[in-house]
Every structure is written in C-alpha cells, then in structure tokens.
Amino acid sequence: MMDRQLSFHGDESGVIATNDDASESKRSCVKLNYYRDDYIANFVKISEKKAPEINRGYYARVKGIEICVEKFLKKTGEKCQIINLGCGFDTLYWRLRDAGHLVQNFIELDFPTVTAKKCYQIKRNKVLLDKIHAEDGEIRFSPTDLHATNYHIVGVDLRSIDEVSNKLKQSDVDFHLPTIFLAECVLVYIETANCNNLLKWLSSNFSSAAFVNYEQVNMNDRFGEVMLSNLRARCCNLAGVEACLSLETQISRFVQCGWNGARSWDMCQIYDSLPIQERQRIEKIEMLDEGELLVQLFQHYCITVAWVGELFQDIEITVEKRLSTLMID
C-alpha cells in the first residue's frame, strides 16, 4: 500500500507524527468523558492516559472549533462546504452527521501518508462507511483518496497550489458556496512564503469564506522557547512560527494575504467563553497537578477566525466577569 505516491521528505516525518499525538490525546479526552466522539476509536486503537492539563487543553481545542462551526452553520444552513486542511484523523464529518448536519460538501486534505491510513480505516469499517454512503451515489477509493457524494479525502502537499487546486476540483468544490476552512496546528509547519501563497489563493478564489485556525501564539517568551525546543527535538520544525508571536501577528498574516479581516483569541478567552455549567462539569473529571501550567498552555495557543465577504465579519467575544460568550452571529 505504501508506494511511491506516499513518499515524503525526511523533514516531514516529525510533522506527520503530530497527527498520531493529537489523535491519541483526543481519544484520551473521550475515554474520560470530556466530550463525546463515537468515531475516534476507529482510528486510534490504543491511547495512554494523558496529563490532566493536556486533556483539558484538547477539550478546549475541540470545543472551540465546534463552536465556530456551529455558528457558521447557523448562518448558512446546509448550503455550505467545509474544507479541513491537515485533517489527520479528525472525525468532525461523522459527529456533524450525528448532530443532524449534512453539509453540501465536506473535503479533507492531508499528506498522502496520512490520508492513506484514514482511507484504509474507513474502507474496512461499516459504521464509518454507512455514514458517507448515499443511496444514489458510489464511494470511490484509491490508495490515498476517497470520493463519495458529499465527502472527500485527498492526499496533497498544501505547499503546492496547483496540487491543492486540482484535488479540490476532483472533490467537486464550489468556489461560490459559503465555505469554512479548518486548520489545527497546520499553517505553522508551512514555510512562510508557501503559507502566504496558500492563504492568498484561498482568499482570491472563494467569494464567501471563513478560516478557523487553531495554532500556537506568544512564542517569543520563555515558555514559547521551551515549546519550540521540545518540538525541534521531535523533528518538528515550526517553519511558520513568525506568525505565532502574538494575536496581532496571527491577524495580520490573514489580512496581508487578502482576507477582509480577522480576529484572534487565546485559549484562556476561548475556555472562559464556554458555558459555565460545562466548565464546572469537566473541571470535576480530574484534579490539575499544576493549575498554572494549564494557564500557560492556554496562553500559548489561540483560535483565529478570518473572513472573505460579509457573511462572517461580525465575530466577537464578549467577556462578562468569569462567564464569557463566544459570539459569531
């Protein structure tokens, strides 16, 4: 199965391995009932218990992304498409189906090495297949790609605009349909020039779009330097880290690449925006060994939302004492 289509440069192996780390961490959360995901176990068979700070951090990451997607769907209904860049083993498509959402198109892109594994697991799992099968459509597999009526997985190098364009067209992309792009710790691994080319191409080709980007921030302080050192030791070079120095640099990256506007919040703000009852529930699951460590982690990750067109421009977080509300409508 691993033919030459799946070859990759040595400096990408560490980046590709981050998918396994993230997927295992998400399953750790699910096993402890931080949130529900009936599908992650199909892609991650074994997961060691993670530290409480890691579990709570991944919970905030998943819920922050979910909130953005839910608000997006309120604006568009099902006449929209979701494009997940660097999708890994993410299960959002199936979770949305369970929640009653069937968007017009859902496209996932990642390195061919990753998409080959995801396609393999889907192909051999009836539960996953049944969710993507349509009565009047077929599911087409290749070693690295999957094409169904409204769900597609394609292997691609995001640094190649021509390749991205071709793969999206193969996936029945509609450049005029309201579109939400998702990226979780993806852009930071792409060289700045290549990342800017990608963001410029997206902003100039999609007429109505939002980009939800979860990524590192405040990477120029001591804690950030330690994070960088640890990642480099695992052969993960943050080639685009210059955009992760502050919330302002996160915003300016999008604006300079043709997006009409952007706003950014660190994960302290995102976590505090969750319903207080939900925060109280998950804070009882595990006691934190070091509360200060969680705060530091939250201060060094953020969610940035950028937009093209007018549909998604009214995005704000209102903070009211301990309880905040993430408002995107």
What pLDDT is stored for residue 11 in this prediction?
55
Q: Please check whether residue 262 lies inside any domain of the structure.
A: yes
Q: Please check whether residue 59 lies inside any domain of the structure.
A: yes
Domain count, the chain: 1
- List, as residue ranges, the binding site for S-adenosyl-L-methionine: 61, 86, 157-158, 184
Distance of CA 267 to the CA centre of its chain: 15
CATH number, domain containing residue 217: 3.40.50.150
pLDDT digits (tens, 9 = 90+) for 205-220: 999 999 999 999 999 9
Q: Please check whether residue 216 lies inside any domain of the structure.
A: yes
Q: Please check whether residue 324 lies inside any domain of the structure.
A: no
What pLDDT is stored for residue 6 in this prediction?
32
Domain that holds residue 266: 10-308
- Strand segments, DSSP code E, in 242-315 are 261-266, 301-308
For residue 49, name the pLDDT band (cuts at 50, 70, 90). confident
Average pLDDT, stretch 86-103?
A: 95
CB atoms within 10 A of CB 46: 7
pLDDT digits (tens, 9 = 90+) for 233-246: 887 788 999 999 99
The pair phi, psi for residue 264, each rounded to 5°, is -140, 140
For residue 289, name the pLDDT band (cuts at 50, 70, 90). confident
Q: Tell the residue number behind the tokens 């839910």, with chain if given.
A: 70
- List, as residue ranges, the binding site: 61, 86, 157-158, 184
Q: Please check whether residue 313 lies inside any domain of the structure.
A: no
Return the structure tokens found at 24: 């295992």
